[in-house]
Amino acid sequence: MAEMISLNITALTRLTYAAIPGFVAHQEGAVINISSIAGLVPELLNGVYGGSKAYVTAFSQSLQKELADKGIKIQAILPGATATDFCRSAACLSRTSIPASPCPLMTWSTVPWSM
């Protein structure tokens, strides 16, 4: 749990703040943070992961507002679960009703979306 927080929150925040002064000085730059749809849709037994990814998304959105007038773009990518060989071997699909397929699926959720 502590390692996940250290990686997903502490390291991301420190690296972002290390890069931004140079971007501000040049009045251009981009930060691309990797979040997850798990930060939008809480999962059972995965609260720290989902919470840390919610932080990444909120942090990125806040920085975009703060730095937009300085020519700096902040993006957060929110990938979802993807059916890959790794996922099949890790039994990711056993928790869903989605059948295993030789072709990767885009993303899926068992929670209805309404935004």
**Which range has the top average pLDDT, 1-5, 14-18, 77-81, 108-112?**
14-18
Q: Is 49 designated active site?
A: yes
| Three-state SS at 106 | coil
Q: Structure pTM? A: 0.73
The counts of H helices and E strands in the chain are: 4, 2
Residues 43-54 pLDDT 10s:
766 889 999 999
**Domain residue ranges in the chain:** 2-80, 82-115
* Rounded Cα distance, 84 and 101, in Å: 9
- Which fold is adopted by the domain 2-80? Rossmann fold (3.40.50)
Q: Which member of 29, 49, 64, 73 is catalytic?
A: 49
CB 30 within 8 A of CB 72: yes
Residues 73-110 pLDDT 10s:
999 999 887 666 666 665 555 554 444 444 344 444 43
Structure-block tokens of residue 54: 């919610």
Q: Using H for helix, E for strand and C for coil, what is the string for 15-27? A: HHHHHHHHHHHHC
Beta strands in the chain (DSSP E): 29-34, 72-77
More confident residue, 25 or 108: 25
